[in-house]
Structure 1
Amino acid sequence: MSTLTEKTPEDLKQNSAQGVTPAIRSMHYAEFGPKLKTALPGPNAKKIVADDDRLISPSYTRSYPMVAKSGRGIRVTDVDGNEFLDFAAGIAVNSTGHCHPEVVKAIQDQAAELIHMSGTDFYYQNMTTLAERLSAIAPMPGPHKFYYGNSGAEAVECAMKLARYHTGRQNIISFFGAFHGRTMGALSLTGSKPQQKRRFAPFVPGVHHIRYPYAYRGCPDGTPEEQEAFALDCARYIEDRLFKTILPPEEVAAIILEPIQGEGGYVVAPTNFLQEIRRICDRHGILLIADEVQSGAARTGKWWAIEHSGVQPDIVCIAKGIASGMPLGICMSKAEVMDWVPGSHASTFGGNPICIAAALATLDILEREGLQNAATIGEKMLDRLRPWVAKHPTVGDVRGRGLMIGVELVKDKKSRTPVGPMRDKVVDLAFERGLLILGCGETTIRLCPPLIVNEQEASIALDILEECITLAAK
C-alpha cells in the first residue's frame, strides 16, 4: 500500500486551485466532480485498513487506502462520506456503473425466486437465454456453445483445456505482457510480472511466450509503415523461428491473445498483426483464443475488441463487465470446437441464476446506451488526451479504444525510460483529489470508467489527471 501524506479538505481545495485545470473551477465541478469531506484516509478508513492489514491476505495489491461503502453510477462513497469519481470501475468490471437500478432489480427478483441449482447437474432456462443473447453478438459466425464459470481465470482455464481436448495437441502460444489470470493454467499463460509467478513453479508445460506488437517500445521511432512491418514480424516469428526450431506446428493447440493487453499496459494489437495470426492458425489447424475478459462487453465501443480488426476467433473468454460486478466467467466457442463429453469440465457455481440475471440486465443496458456511449465518450477522451504527448514532457504515449485508454508516462521523450514511481505518484495524487484510477504495465495509467460515464464527468476526470501529471513531473 502506498504511504500517503494526509490531506485536509482545505488542502484539497487549494491543490485544485493551483492546478492547470480550468474545468475544476467551472460550474460543472460542483455537480459532477468529487466531493471530499475529510482528510484522506479518514478515521473510519484508517481503522478498516489496520484491520485489513491484520486479517487479510497480503497478496492483494492495494494502490491507496480507499475503503468503499456504497456506489451509484460512476461514484463511490467511502466509509467517511467522501465521494469519488470511479475511473477504475472495479478493474473494468462495473460496466453499467455501481448499483444500476435495473441490475439491482434483476438480482433482487432472482434472489427471491432461485439462488442456486448447479447448472452442471441440472437445467435452468436462463442459461440458454443468456447463451442465445451472446450468440447473437459473437465475433465469429455460429452456431456457438457456452461454458459458464465464475471468473476470467476460469474462462481461460476452460479455453486452455478445450483447445487441448479438441485438437489433441498440447502446446499453446501466448505473449509477453499478457495477463490471463492467476490459477495455475491461466498463470502459465500469463507473461506480465515476475511477482505473479515467483515461487509458484513448475507451471503447466507446453506454453511458449513470444513478443507482443508493443510498437511504442519495440519500434518507437518508426514510420507508420515501419510499425506495421514490426507488427507483422511479431506474428511471423511464430513460423519463421518457433516452427522452424523448437515447436512443431502440428503439436500446437492454440494461440491465445488479448486484442488489447490489459495488465500489460493497455497495448492495442494492430489489425495486420491479428490478421496474420489468424492466417497462421488457419494454415496449421491451430485455434485462435481471444481473451476478452477486460476488453470485451462493449468496453471498446464494440461488443468485442477483436471486432475492430475484422478477425474471427474460434474461442472467446468473457468475464469482468459482462455481469456488472457479479462473478461470471464465460467461455464461448464455435459449436464444433466444444466437442467434449460429460464430465470433461464443470463448475459448481458456474451459471449461477443471480449472476445470469445480472448479465441479462447488463446486456440490456449496454445494448441500449453503453455500447454507443463507450465509443462516443471514449473518442472524445482520446481527442483530449492525444495532444498531451506534445504538451507534457512526461506523457510518452496515449492509446486505446472506446473507454479502455492507456496513458504511458516516461522520464523524457528521447529515452522513453519507464517511470513506475512517478506513475504511482500520479495515481496517489488523483486519489487525494477524489479520482480513482489504476496503473497497468510498467509505467501506464489506465482509464476504464463505467460505460455510462457522461461528458462532464469525463472532462473533470481528465482535468484532475492532467493536474496530477503536471504536479508529479515537478
Structure 2
Amino acid sequence: MTEKLSPSPAADEALPQSRYLATEVPGPRSQQLHADRASQVTAGFGTALPVFVSRADGGIIEDVDGNRLIDFASGIAVTSVGAANRRVRERVTAQLQRFTHTCFMVTEYESFTEVCRWLNANTPGSFDKRTALFTTGAEAVENAVKIARSATGRPNVLVFDEGYHGRTLMTMAMTAKENPYRLNFGPMPTEFVRAASANPLRLESGEGSREDSADEVAARALASVEETLAEHGADSFAAMVIEPIQGEGGFVVPAPGFIAGLREIADRYGIVLVLDEIQAGMGRTGALYASEHEGVAADIILSAKALAGGLPLSAVTGRTDLMNTVHPGGLGGTYAGNPLACEAALAVFEEFEDGSLLANAQMIEDVATQVLADVVEQTSIVAQFRGRGAMLALEFADAQTLKPRPDLAKKISDHCHAQGVLTLTCGTHGNVIRLLPPLVIDESLLREGLNVLRAAILDAAA
C-alpha cells in the first residue's frame, strides 16, 4: 500500500500510543532512504529493521512512512523512560542554552558531580564509593579493568561463557560470541580467561542434566570457576567481570546462588568483582540494579545504556579504596561525562523518584508471563521463557534435543516486524527473541504487541 501520507505533525504534538500500518514495513520512503544509506555508510553497520524513524515516544516508534510500531527494543535497553521524555528534554534544552561542552578534565561543571553523587548513593553496597563517568559501555568496562589492575597489581581478568562486554579490542576479548563481534578482528588481548557460567538450560560441557536443581547447576559452575582459577593461578587475577543477567548471550538468568558464590570466591582470593549492569541496570529488571535480586554488592558496578535517557553516558562506581588507587590523569576522556548527558541522567534519576518505573517493570513481567509463558508447553519450539522485569526472552530450540533454532527466531521476529512490532534477536546461537519494552509503555499497548508475538510463535509451531 502506498497511500499518500499527511504532513508530519508538529514536534510537540503527542505521538499516538497505538499501532498503525500505513504501508508495508519497511515502507517506500524507508526503502529509498535505506538504499541511500547503502551508498554512503559502511556495510559493517547492521540493522535489525530497515525503517527510518520520524518520531518516537512512550511505547511507539513512528517511521517516515507514517507507520507506528510497538517498541519492544528501547534502542537496546536505552530509552527506558521513553525516547522523548519531557524531563530529559527540558534539562538538556536548558543546558544547551548555557554550553554544550568544556571537557570535565579542563574546566568542571556541577552536573558531573551530581550524577556521581546519585550513583554513589543508589548503587548496591553500604560502603563508601566514588564514581567515574565516561561515554560508552565499552569504555566503562575497560576502565573498570584498568582500575582493578591498578588496585591489585595483577594482569588477568576472568570472564564468562555467554558474556558480552562491548566492541573495542579489549572488550571483544571479553565477549564470548564470535560472530559478528570477534570475527576477523583478531588477534585478541591474551590476559582474559573464560570460565563456565551457570546457565540452567544449557549446562557447560554437557555435564549434568536439565533435571538438575538450581543448586546443583550453581554448585557445578562454581566448582568449574575454582578449577579455572587454580589452573591459571588465582593470585594472577585482578578482576572477574560478569553480567548479573547476560544480555547479548541470550538474557540468561544464572542459577540462584551463582553470583553470590562468585562474591565469596572473589573475596577469598582478593579478586575485584565487577558487575556489568550496562543492560540490566537502571530499573530494567524491576530493581534499580539486577544484582539486588541476588543480594550481592559488587566491588565495582557499571552503568550505561538507560543511564541518560538516550544520550551517551556511562559510569564506573566502586569502593573508594579501589577507585582512588588510580593516579591523577589516569582516567578520563574528551567527552567523558558530557554536560548534556549529565543533565539527561539527572532527569532520569528524577523519573525514578516516585517508584512508578520499577512498578511498571514488574507489570511488564507479569503481563508477558500471562501472554507468553504457556507457549513452552503448547509448542515444541520454545525451550524457555525467562528473564526479570522488562528484560525477558524466549529461546527457540528443539524441545527434546535443545538444538538451537535461529531460523525460527528470525522468522518470528520478521513476522512481528511486518505486523508493526519491533523485536530483537540475540543469543550465542542467535536463537533468542528478547523483549526490552520501555518502562513507560501502556499495558494495553504491551498486551497488543505480545499477542502479535504469541500468534507468530503459534503459527510457526503449526
The interval holding the TM-score normalised by the smaller chain is: over 0.9
Does residue 298 (structure 1) correspond to residue 298 (structure 2)? The answer is no
The answer to whether residue 401 in structure 2 is matched with residue 415 in structure 1 is yes
Is the CA contact 2:215–2:256 (under 8 Å) kept in the aligned structure 1? no
Q: What is aligned with 1:203?
A: 188
> Which has the larger helix fraction?
1
Give per-residue Cα distances to partners, 1:274-305, cap 9 Å, x unaligned. Answer: 11111100000000000000000000000110
Pick one of 422, 432, 435 that aligns with 2:418.
432
Equivalent residues of 1:9, 1:36 under 8 A apart: no
Matches of 1:118 and 1:465, distance apart in 2: 45
Match of 2:108 among 102, 116, 123: 123
Residue of structure 2 in register with 1:140 after alignment: 125
Q: Is the 8 A contact 2:248 2:426 kept in 1?
A: yes
Report SS of the residue matched to 1:445: strand
Query: 1:323 maps to which residue?
Result: 308
Indicate conservation of the 8 Å contact 2:372/2:454, yes or no.
no
Which residue of structure 2 aligns with residue 231 of structure 1? 218
Q: Unaligned 5+ residue runs, structure 1?
A: 1-7, 11-30
Q: How does 1:1-12 map to 2 (within 5 A)?
A: 8=1
CA drift at 1:453: 1.4
Q: Does the 8 A contact of 1:178 with 1:264 survive in 2?
A: yes
Counterpart-to-counterpart distance in 1, 2:256 and 2:401? 27
Distance in 2 between the 1:183 and 1:190 partners? 10
Letter in 2 for 1:444: V
1:396 aligns with 2:368: no
| CA deviation after TM superposition for structure 1 residue 32, in Å | 5.2
Alignment of 1:37-436 (within 5 A): 37-218=22-203, 221-223=209-211, 225=213, 227-239=214-226, 241-245=227-231, 247-338=232-323, 339-368=325-354, 369-410=356-397, 412-436=398-422
Moved over 6 A (4+): none
Structure 1 residue matching 2:280: 3-state secondary structure: coil
Q: Which amino acid aligns with 1:355?
A: A
* In structure 2, C-alpha distance between the alignment counterparts of 1:243 and 1:392, rounded to whole Å: 41
> 1:446 aligned to 434, 456, 459, which one?
434
Report the TM-score when normalising by structure 2.
0.93
Deviation, 1:142, is: 2.9
* Residue aligning to 2:9: none
C-alpha distance in 2 between matches for 1:103 and 1:434: 27
Aligned residue pairs, count: 443
| Contact 1:34/1:433 (<8 A) preserved | no
Letter matched to residue 400 of structure 2: K
Percent sequence identity over matched residues?
32
The answer on whether the counterparts of 1:92 and 1:320 sit within 8 Å (CA) in structure 2 is yes
Residue 26 of structure 1 is matched in structure 2 by none
Q: CA shift at 1:224, angstroms?
A: 5.5
State the shift of 1:461 in Å. Answer: 1.1
1:305-364, Cα deviation, whole Å (9 max, x unpaired): 011010110011110011110000111111111121112121110111110100010111
Contact kept, 8 Å, 2:396 with 2:404, in 1: the verdict is: yes
Please, what TM-score do these two structures have when normalized by structure 1? 0.90
* RMSD (CA atoms): 1.7
> What corresponds to 2:8 in structure 1?
none
